[in-house]
Amino acid sequence: MNETVVNAIALLAVAVAAHAAWHTLRDAPFSNPLFYSVAALEVALLGLLIGGSVALGRTDRDVDGVLLVSYLVTIVVIPPAAVLWGIAEKSRWGTGVVVVAMLTTAVLCVRVEQIWDAVRV
């Protein structure tokens, strides 16, 4: 699994978090552009799930496969859940939920890298 790609996805998640935080600060409702940012990230995360699973099948490193795949699946589930839950909240904190979710996604990407590198944390 390519570290640059995972780092890029983590940075993308941070960028989407900033985008959502901008909505939260301005008390703006959940907007279409924000939806598209989250959707773009989701596509990247699906790619990571597929790419990561393929890489896991090919590698001969000592990677904890169950742990890795459970992380990859969790990451894919988070953004849609956050969007659904965020839209249901009409106050500014609806997008606050998205901020939390995106930061979580970024952290999980970093953890995925550590698991791939077989770093014991």
Contact 48, 12 (CB under 8 A): no
**Residues 81-100 interacting with other proteins (rule: CB under 8 A):** 82, 85-86, 89, 91, 93-94, 96-97, 99-100
Q: How far is the CB of 52 from other proteins (least distance, A)?
A: 18
In whole angstroms, what is the distance from residue 39 CA to residue 46 CA?
10
Q: How far is the CB of 20 from other proteins (least distance, A)?
A: 11
Quick one: 17 exposed, middle or buried, by C-beta within 10 A (0-12, 13-18, 19+)? buried
Closer CB to other proteins, residue 52 or residue 86?
A: 86
In whole angstroms, what is the distance from residue 79 CA to residue 4 CA?
22
**Residues 54-73 interacting with other proteins (rule: CB under 8 A):** 67, 70
Q: How far is the CB of 10 from other proteins (least distance, A)?
A: 14
In whole angstroms, what is the distance from residue 64 CA to residue 116 CA?
8
Give the closest residue to 112 by CA, choosing from 38, 42, 51: 51
Place of tokens 């969007």: 83
Asked if 79 is part of the footprint of other proteins (rule: CB under 8 A), the reply reads no
Q: How far is the CB of 54 from other proteins (least distance, A)?
A: 23
What residues line the site for other proteins (CB under 8 A)?
Answer: 67, 70, 74, 82, 85-86, 89, 91, 93-94, 96-97, 99-101, 104, 107, 121
